Each structure stands twice: as structure tokens, then as C-alpha cells.
């Protein structure tokens, strides 16, 4: 074999194990559930192979599924907006601070290393009937009986914001860090107030980071089922909970396939719109 | 004045991120038998209870083995792929890069369902093998992103020097490239281990009945109610997943300083 041919083959040898893993553990399984979603699960529990539209019809026209899908998108949207409002000023502070930037960044990375389930359940210690807040309010004499503050939609959103905020801060920080500070100084010297310089120079330039953080928050928020189980009440199920129910509890795998594909399509459209205007490379910046 | 407001806001945001976690750690040392406020004193009894809790210890062993195996496999696949992407002119490089990070672009629930149903159809039901396959595919993109970022900074000249002095490509890899890559390898492996150790979303779909990892163990304990034992378990996990990387970074820095002098 010639040297050139060997040189050309080498990268493929290096890539093949990883590509094979992605192919056999992601791409083909995804195609498989597309096929599976047209099968039927009969009452006795065996799958009927064929081309039936029943699962899709149920997923798309059943009011129950539609309401929960819309509610899931609403919760993800509120979570994203709250993350943006809370995270942007903090990211701005980190980007512009001089002395303690390193320690602030290190602290910001810390939540990524702390288990999601621990961060989620930590709110039970704060808001539960015997939690920190109730104890405080009772010892101050403001209330006599502990109030149940947990297990509603607000605590689900709270848990999601707590989980996703670091993604937002990090992405906004990365884009703010890339902006030349001289631009703001130039705007100031041309007569703009600090606020004007911010809204007309810095904010527009940092929008890609805000959008990247927002996309991550939305997609990760809309795909969760653990937070509603731990911090939500019986009526706060999100769409991924329906998938979990169908697959694990009801063992209706064809229906579960259709439901998870529906979630993938809805979120995929969002990612595609984002990719069309901003490109996925912005996301990689925040992750790296 | 504006700057002062932003400063206060930032302090509040950091407080929001860390106070609940700090309360978990604080309550795990609580002597009060209900594990709630008010704290009646400091005690290590809940850590002792954990040590004697067979289910928890079993979950720990499962998580450790799973995390280590995931780290080894994922890092190996990730390094090979990163080498190809950074070192060679691969055709369709963008498509391949996107394909390799695709597992994090797909919502984890969907990935979990697809993998479970496909492997089950092939005859591999809920098992440790399925769990391992799931953790590998889910951690692979993170490893590739981390390793690739580090790999770019290693200059090709050193390798070319070794090659021109008569080393074979394999010798060059083990004598020159790999030692230079070691920080990237360690970072990738640590990342894969931590993600695997913390994962619950996919794990709940893939784990066989009766097998628990630490997060799913916490999850099933939460069904009853929050107990001081859960807080203690949370504290142990925080120490493991935050302490280990910090320790790793410190050791790496020390080694680098030794190497430099």
C-alpha cells in the first residue's frame, strides 16, 4: 500500500470506534423507534408488527397529551426567561470584575460537579414543612403552623432554574468576555451614558451568548422528568413524565416511542431554527 | 450605584446556587433524629448509618464500577476520535464533529428510550451492559469536546522531530504524544466518570430491577421522605464529585511544576 493511501486511511481507523458507537447506540436506535412507533401493543402484551397510525393519532389528538406538551413548553419558557434575568447581570459582573474573577468562575463551575438529584432535593430541606424557611418563620412568630410550600408548579420552575442557571451564566459570560471593552469606552467618549453604551453596544454583541444559554436551558428544561417527580405535585407532570410512564409503568413501548419522537421533533425544530440563525458552533464555545 | 446593584445581585445569585447545597451538608451532621431544623447538635451518626446500610453500599459499588468502566471506554474512544479530527484532514469534518456530539443534542429521555428499545429488540434487555452502553454514548461527546480543546494546543513539531529521528508512529505516540496528552486524558476521564456517577435520567430507564446506582438509590429513598441519611449520602457524593476533581487538579499542577524544574 502506498504511503498516501495509508495516510488517508489512518484517521478513519481512529474514528471508527467512536463513529460505530454513535451509529449503533444512537442513530440506528432512533431510526428503530421511528419504525416501532407504528407498531401496536395489544392487550396481552405482545407487539403487533405493522403500520398503524394509532399511537401517533393518540399522541397528537388526545387532549391530555396536548395540554401537557403545551404546559411543558410554558414551564421551559418561564424557566429560560428567569435564568436569563437572573444570570445576565451576574455574568456581566464576572466578566467586568477584576480582582476575584478566577474564584467567581471556579465557583460557577462547581454546580456542574454536584449531582442534579442532590441539588433538586436540597430544596426540600429549605421549603419542606420542617425545612429552614418554615422553621425560621415559626421562630419569628409570623406563622403558627408550617405551610406546605412544596409540590406545585412554582417549585418545579424553582428547581429547574436552580439546575439550569449555571449554563446560562457561563454562556453569557463567554460572549461578554469576547467583547472588546474599548467599544464601551468609545461609546462613552462619544457622549453615550453608561446605560446607553450598554444597551446599544454591549447587550446586542452579547445576544449570541444569551441565545445559546437560553437554548440549553429550554431544551434541558423541557426534557426533564425527575424535577417534577421530586418537587412537583401529582398534577405537575411534564411531557417526559408521560414518556417515562408509557415506557416503564405501562410498558406500552410503541406509544412511548411515538411520545419521545414527538418531544424530539418539537425540540428539534427549536434547535434547527437556532442553528439556521446562529449556528451550533456557539454552543460548543460555552461547553468548551 | 449601578455597579453596586449588580454586585449585590451577583452575591444573591451565588447564594441561590449554593445555599440549598450548603444546607444539605449542614443537616447531614445534625444530631436531631428527624434530620430537620432546629439543629440540636453535631453528630456523625448518619454517616455511620450509611456505612451499615447494605443497599447504599451496594449502590456505591455499582456506581463506582460503572463510572470507572464508562471513563475507560469513553476516554479511549474519545481520544482516538479527537486525534483523527485534530491531526488529519478528514473529509466531511463538520458532519463528523456534529455526529459525534449528537448524543448531547438529543434530549436524554429520547436517547434513553431509543437505546432501551433497540437493544432490547436485539436481545439485550435491562442489564449492566445496557447501562454501560448508555453511559458511554452519553459521556462520549463531553470527552471529545474536552480532549479536542486540549489537543489543539500540542504542537506537531515535537512529534515530527521524534519521527525524523527514526521513531515509528506507534513509538512516537507512546513516547511523545501520549505524555503530552496526559492532562487531556485525565480531564476527559474525570469528566466521563463524574457525569456517569451523577446520571439519573437515562439510568432509571436502563437499570435492571434491583440494581441501584447512588442517584437512583437517593431517588427511591426520597419516595418515603427526606431523611438525614439522604443528606449524609448527598454530602458524600458532593465530596466525591467535587473533591476528586479539585484533588486531581492540585496533583496535576504539582506534577507539572516538578516537570518544569
Check if the beta carbon of residue B30 is closer than 8 Å to that of residue B38: no
pLDDT given for residue B99 in this prediction: 92
B28 and B108 both lie in a single domain: no
Across A9-30, average pLDDT: 94
pLDDT band at A284 (very low <50, low <70, confident <90, very high): low
Determine contact, residues A108/A170, Cβ cutoff 8 Å: yes
Question: Do B238 and B193 fall within a single domain?
Answer: yes
Residues on chain A touching B242 (C-beta within 8 angstroms):
110, 113-114
B109 and A169: CB-CB below 8 Å?
no
Strand partners for A48: A40
- pLDDT over 90 at B254, yes or no: no
Tell me, yes or no, whether B6 and B124 share the same domain.
Answer: no
Among A26, A125, A271, beta carbon nearest to B103: A26
Judge if B30 and B67 occupy the same domain.
no
Instruction: State how far the Cα of A108 lies from the Cα of B17, in Å rounded to an integer.
Output: 9
Instruction: Give the CATH number for residue B183.
Output: 1.10.3720.10
Cα separation, B128 vs B212, whole angstroms: 11
Query: Nearest C-alpha of chain B: how many angstroms from A99?
Result: 13
Residues B135 and B253 in one domain: yes
A180: DSSP letter? -
Give CA–CA dist B191/B89, Å, rounded: 27
Fold of the A59-287 domain:
MetI-like fold (1.10.3720)
- Is A38 an interface residue toward B (CB < 8 Å)? no
A59 vs A4, more confident: A59
Please count the structural domains in chain B.
2
Interface contacts A/B by beta carbons within 8 Å = 242
| Highest mean predicted confidence (pLDDT) among A142-151, A257-266, B1-10 | A257-266
Residue A14 has pLDDT above 80, yes or no: yes
Same domain, B3 and B67: no
Q: A106 — phi, psi (to 5°)?
A: -60, -45
- Specify which of A69-83, A105-119, B148-162, B210-224 reaches the highest per-range mean pLDDT: A69-83
Residues B96 and B224 in one domain: yes
Band of the pLDDT at B34, cuts 50, 70, 90? Answer: low
Residue B137 lies in a domain: yes
Rounded to a whole number of angstroms, the distance from the CA of A176 to the nearest CA of chain B is 15
Grid cell in block for residue A21: 458507537
Distance in angstroms (rounded) separating the CA atoms of residues B38 and A52: 59
- Does the beta-carbon distance from B234 to A115 stay under 8 Å? yes
What proportion of chain B, given as a percentage, has pLDDT over 90?
51
Q: Return the domain boundaries, chain A.
A: 59-287
**Does A269 touch chain B if contact means CB atoms closer than 8 Å?**
no
Position B78 pLDDT exceeds 60:
yes
Indicate whether A6 pLDDT > 80: no
* pLDDT for A282 beyond 70: no
Distance of CA A266 to the CA centre of its chain: 14
In this predicted structure, the answer to whether residue A3 has a pLDDT above a threshold of 70 is no
Tell whether B13 and B58 lie within a shared domain: no
The DSSP line for A190-244 is: TT--HHHHIIIIIHHHHHHHHHHHHHHHHHHHHT--HHHHHHS-TT---HHHHHH
What pLDDT was estimated at residue B31?
Answer: 77
ipTM summary value: 0.91
pLDDT at A153: 95
Whole-model pTM: value is 0.91
Three-class secondary structure of residue A273 per DSSP: helix
Q: Which chain A residues contact residue B219 at CB under 8 A? A: 117, 226, 230
Higher pLDDT pick, A45 / B114: B114
For residues B16-27, give the mean pLDDT.
92
Where does the pLDDT of residue B157 fall: very low under 50, low under 70, confident under 90, or very high at 90 and above?
Answer: confident
For residue B90, is it left (φ>0), alpha (ψ between -120 and 50) or beta? beta
Q: Which helix (H) or strand (E) holds A116?
A: helix A116-127
Q: What is the three-state SS of chain B?
A: CHHHHHHHHHHHHHHHHHHHHHHHHHHHCECCCCCCCCCCCECCHHHHHHHHCHHHHHHHHHHHHHHHHHHHHHHHHHHHHHHHHHHCCCCCHHHHHHHHHHHHHCCHHHHHHHHHHHHHHCCCCCCHHHHHHHHHHHHHHHHHHHHHHHHCCCCHHHHHHHHHCCCCHHHHHHHHHHHHHHHHHHHHHHHHHHHHHHCCCCHHHHCCCCCCCHHHHHHHHHCCCCCHHHHHHHHHHHHHHHHHHHHHHHHHHHHHHHHHC
Q: Is residue B123 part of a domain?
A: yes
Determine the average pLDDT of the residues in B220-242.
87
pLDDT of residue B35: 61
pLDDT digits (tens, 9 = 90+) for A115-157: 999 999 999 999 988 888 988 898 898 888 888 899 999 999 9
Largest CA distance in chain A: 86
- List CB contacts (< 8 A) between A36 and chain B: 117, 121
- Measured between CB atoms, does A219 come within 8 Å of chain B? yes
Same domain, B197 and B170: yes
**A15 and B81 in contact (C-beta within 8 Å)?**
yes
Which pLDDT score is estimated for B260?
Answer: 47
What is the number of alpha carbons within 13 Å of residue B103 lying toward its C-beta?
31
Who wins on pLDDT, B163 or B196?
B196
Banded model confidence at residue B36, pLDDT cuts 50, 70, 90: low
Amino acid B249: pLDDT: 75
Do B82 and B104 lie in one domain? The reply is yes
Higher-pLDDT residue of A170, B158:
A170
Provide mean pLDDT across the span B3-7.
91
Interface touch A263/B23, C-beta < 8 Å: no
Q: Residue B228 and residue B236: Cα distance in Å, rounded?
A: 12
Instruction: Dig out the grid coordinates for B209 from the structure.
Output: 430491577
User: And the C-alpha cell for A133?
Assistant: 424557611
Instruction: Give the range of the structural domain holding residue B200, as residue numbers without chain letter.
Output: 54-260
Q: Do B10 and A125 touch (CB under 8 A)?
A: no
* Contact present, A259 and B109 (Cβ < 8 Å): no
**Collapsed DSSP state (helix, strand, coil) of residue A288:** coil
Is it the case that residue A246 has pLDDT exceeding 80? yes
**What would the pLDDT profile of B79-109 be if each residue is shown by its tens digit?**
999 989 988 888 888 889 889 989 988 999 9
| pLDDT-derived band at A288, boundaries 50, 70, 90 | very low
Chain B interface includes A26 (CB < 8 A): yes
Per-residue pLDDT, averaged over A33-59, amounts to: 85
Report, as an integer, the average pLDDT of B146-162: 83
SS3 A118: helix
Rg (CA), chain A: 24
pLDDT at residue A7 above 80? no
pLDDT at B261: 42
Q: What's the mean pLDDT in A96-112? A: 86
Amino acid at each position: 500500500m502506498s504511503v498516501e493511501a495509508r495516510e488517508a486511511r489512518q484517521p478513519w481507523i481512529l474514528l471508527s470506534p467512536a463513529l460505530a458507537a454513535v451509529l449503533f447506540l444512537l442513530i440506528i436506535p432512533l431510526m428503530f423507534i421511528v419504525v416501532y412507533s407504528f407498531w401496536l401493543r395489544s392487550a396481552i402484551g405482545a407487539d403487533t408488527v405493522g403500520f398503524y397510525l394509532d399511537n401517533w393519532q393518540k399522541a397528537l389528538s388526545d387532549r391530555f397529551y396536548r395540554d401537557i406538551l403545551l404546559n411543558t413548553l410554558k414551564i421551559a419558557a418561564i424557566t429560560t426567561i428567569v435564568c436569563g434575568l437572573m444570570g445576565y447581570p451576574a455574568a456581566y459582573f464576572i466578566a467586568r470584575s477584576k480582582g476575584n474573577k478566577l474564584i467567581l468562575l471556579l465557583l460557577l463551575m462547581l454546580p456542574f460537579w454536584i449531582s442534579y438529584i442532590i441539588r433538586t432535593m436540597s430544596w426540600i430541606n429549605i421549603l419542606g414543612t420542617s425545612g429552614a424557611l418554615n422553621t425560621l418563620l415559626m421562630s419569628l412568630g409570623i406563622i403558627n403552623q408550617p405551610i406546605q410550600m412544596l409540590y406545585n408548579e412554582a417549585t418545579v420552575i424553582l428547581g429547574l432554574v436552580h439546575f439550569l442557571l449555571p449554563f446560562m451564566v457561563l454562556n453569557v459570560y463567554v460572549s461578554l468576555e469576547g467583547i472588546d471593552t474599548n467599544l464601551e469606552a468609545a461609546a462613552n467618549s462619544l457622549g453615550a451614558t453608561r446605560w446607553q453604551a450598554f444597551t446599544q453596544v454591549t447587550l446586542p454583541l452579547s445576544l449570541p451568548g444569551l441565545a445559546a444559554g437560553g437554548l440549553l436551558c429550554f431544551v434541558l428544561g423541557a426534557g426533564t422528568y425527575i424535577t417534577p417527580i421530586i418537587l412537583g405535585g401529582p398534577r405537575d407532570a411534564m411531557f417526559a413524565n408521560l414518556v417515562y410512564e408509557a415506557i416503564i409503568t405501562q410498558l406500552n413501548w410503541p406509544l412511548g416511542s411515538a411520545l419521545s419522537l414527538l418531544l424530539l421533533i418539537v425540540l428539534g425544530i427549536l434547535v434547527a431554527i437556532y442553528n439556521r440563525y446562529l449556528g451550533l458552533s456557539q454552543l460548543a464555545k460555552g461547553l468548551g | 450605584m449601578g455597579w453596586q446593584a449588580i454586585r449585590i445581585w451577583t452575591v444573591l445569585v451565588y447564594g441561590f446556587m449554593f445555599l440549598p447545597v450548603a444546607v444539605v451538608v449542614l443537616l447531614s451532621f445534625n444530631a436531631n433524629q428527624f434530620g430537620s431544623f432546629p439543629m440540636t447538635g453535631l453528630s456523625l451518626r448518619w454517616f455511620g448509618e450509611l456505612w451499615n446500610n447494605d443497599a447504599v453500599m451496594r449502590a456505591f459499588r455499582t456506581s463506582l464500577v460503572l463510572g470507572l468502566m464508562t471513563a475507560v471506554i469513553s476516554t479511549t474512544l474519545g481520544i482516538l476520535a479527537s486525534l483523527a479530527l485534530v491531526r488529519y484532514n478528514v473529509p466531511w469534518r463538520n458532519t463528523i464533529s456534529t455526529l459525534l456530539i449528537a448524543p448531547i443534542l438529543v434530549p436524554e429521555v429520547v436517547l434513553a428510550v431509543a437505546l432501551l428499545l433497540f437493544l432490547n429488540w436485539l436481545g439485550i434487555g435491562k442489564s449492566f451492559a445496557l447501562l454501560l452502553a448508555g453511559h458511554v454514548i452519553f459521556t462520549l461527546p463531553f470527552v471529545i469536546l474536552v480532549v479536542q480543546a486540549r489537543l489543539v494546543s500540542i504542537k506537531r513539531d515535537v512529534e515530527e522531530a521524534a519521527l525524523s529521528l527514526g521513531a515509528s508512529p506507534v513509538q512516537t505516540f507512546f513516547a511523545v504524544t501520549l505524555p503530552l496528552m496526559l492532562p487531556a486524558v485525565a480531564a476527559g476521564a474525570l469528566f466521563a466518570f463524574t457525569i456517569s456517577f451523577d446520571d439519573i435520567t437515562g439510568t432509571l430507564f436502563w437499570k435492571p430491577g434491583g440494581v441501584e446506582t447512588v442517584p437512583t438509590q437517593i431517588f427511591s429513598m426520597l419516595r418515603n421522605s427526606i431523611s438525614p441519611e439522604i443528606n449524609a449520602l448527598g454530602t458524600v457524593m458532593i465530596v466525591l464529585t467535587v473533591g476528586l476533581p479539585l484533588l486531581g487538579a492540585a496533583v496535576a499542577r504539582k506534577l507539572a511544576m516538578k516537570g518544569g524544574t
